[in-house]
């Protein structure tokens, strides 16, 4: 597949060869950053980085990726400063911005909002997160991290812990890893925050073993532990959030009761679900994971603009 001119909106339906291509280009981009620091690959391009929902890692890593490739970024980092605050539709905003740039990266709170933007324009659109829907670039950097930390992606047993109902990173990762024949997915969450049954059914249809549990002790037997925070902003009833927050807290003591070689990941930000006493363990990969986002997002920008 050629990615040139294409949108990156979801990991659903991404093929193994496409994923491998992204990971390979990401490794090349990591080499560029380590050896050249800044490339001229996209020096004639302008990228809109539109973040209509709060973000630190995704926005800054995209802006860094743009600059590392020699391109220019125009940025909206607060929904209140965009014309959306005046009632402008996503489609109208996208059509306007299309006249200024060569690619749009967008985060906004509506599930399917990135698709609305992509349908409105003829330039590539990259989804930086659409509400509780999808976060494909996070899933791709998660794959890149797993590959670096574990040596390969085939046959892994992966436990995902925390907010699996609203967790768009979990939704995207579940689909992204599926072509690599995971041995098992373990979905560890309170009943109120368990993964959607439709996603479980999709995975089982692919022949992937799926287990639901509320026990983090069981999750600690996996190869990869993917922790997530309970997302306060997704709750309509704050009393429900207060009841569920702190459901899982990973400490060094708890961790040592499980698989000693488990790789610990987290899309960040964390609140209280990973104790700071875990941070200096060699298998705590979450800050390395965040840094990998630059390389993967560089790869995607280069691919969709036909320069990879």
The active-site residue, picked from 34, 37, 80, 86, is: 86
Residue ranges of the domains in the chain? 16-134+291-304, 136-290
Q: Helix 57-68 vs helix 16-35: angle between axes, to the nearest 10 degrees?
A: 70
> How many angstroms separate the CA atoms of 249 and 10, rounded?
30
> How many angstroms separate the CA atoms of 42 and 253, rounded?
47
Average predicted confidence (pLDDT) for the chain: 92
The active-site residue, picked from 6, 57, 95, 252, is: 57
135 in catalytic set:
yes
The active-site residue, picked from 59, 107, 171, 229, is: 107
- Edge-to-edge strand order for the sheet containing 125-130? 72-76, 46-51, 103-108, 125-130
Is there a shared CATH topology between the 16-134+291-304 domain and the 136-290 domain? Answer: yes
| Per-residue model confidence as pLDDT tens digits over 242-294 | 666 667 889 999 998 888 899 999 999 988 899 999 999 999 999 999 999 99
What is the CATH number that goes with domain 16-134+291-304? 3.40.50.1370
Res. 1: pLDDT tops 80: no
Q: Which residues contact 124 (CB under 8 A, 6 or more apart)?
A: 5, 6, 7, 8, 102, 103, 104, 304, 305
291 in catalytic set:
no
58 in catalytic set:
yes
Q: Is it true that domain 136-290 has CATH number 3.40.50.300? A: no
Please tell me the pTM assigned to this model.
0.92
3-state secondary structure of 245: coil
């Amino acid at each position: 597949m050629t990615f040139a001119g294409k949108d990156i909106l979801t990991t659903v339906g991404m093929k193994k060869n496409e994923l491998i291509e992204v990971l390979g280009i990401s490794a090349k981009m990591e080499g560029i950053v380590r050896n050249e620091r800044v490339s001229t690959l996209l020096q004639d391009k302008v990228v809109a980085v539109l973040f209509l929902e709060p973000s630190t890692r995704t926005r800054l890593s995209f802006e860094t990726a743009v600059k590392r490739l020699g391109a220019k970024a125009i940025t909206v980092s607060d929904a209140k400063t965009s014309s959306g605050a005046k009632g402008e539709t996503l489609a109208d905003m996208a059509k306007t911005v299309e006249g200024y740039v060569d690619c749009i990266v967008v985060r906004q709170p509506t599930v399917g909002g990135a698709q609305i933007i992509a349908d409105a324009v003829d330039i590539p659109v990259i989804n930086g997160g659409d509400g509780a829907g999808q976060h494909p670039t996070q899933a791709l950097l998660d794959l890149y991290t797993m590959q670096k930390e574990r040596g390969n992606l085939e046959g892994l047993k992966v436990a995902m812990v925390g907010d699996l109902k609203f967790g768009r990173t979990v939704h995207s990762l579940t689909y992204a890893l599926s072509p690599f024949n995971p041995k098992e997915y373990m979905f560890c969450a309170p009943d109120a925050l368990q993964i959607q049954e439709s996603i479980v059914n999709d995975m089982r249809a692919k022949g992937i073993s799926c287990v639901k549990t509320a026990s983090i002790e069981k999750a600690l037997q996996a190869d990869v532990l993917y922790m997530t925070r309970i997302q306060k902003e997704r709750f309509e009833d704050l009393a429900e959030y207060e009841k569920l927050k702190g459901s899982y807290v990973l400490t060094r003591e708890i961790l040592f009761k499980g698989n000693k070689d488990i790789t610990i990941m987290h899309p960040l930000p964390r609140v209280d679900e990973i104790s700071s006493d875990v941070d200096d363990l060699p298998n705590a990969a979450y800050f390395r994971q965040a840094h990998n986002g630059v390389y993967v997002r560089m790869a995607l920008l280069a691919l969709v603009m036909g320069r990879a």
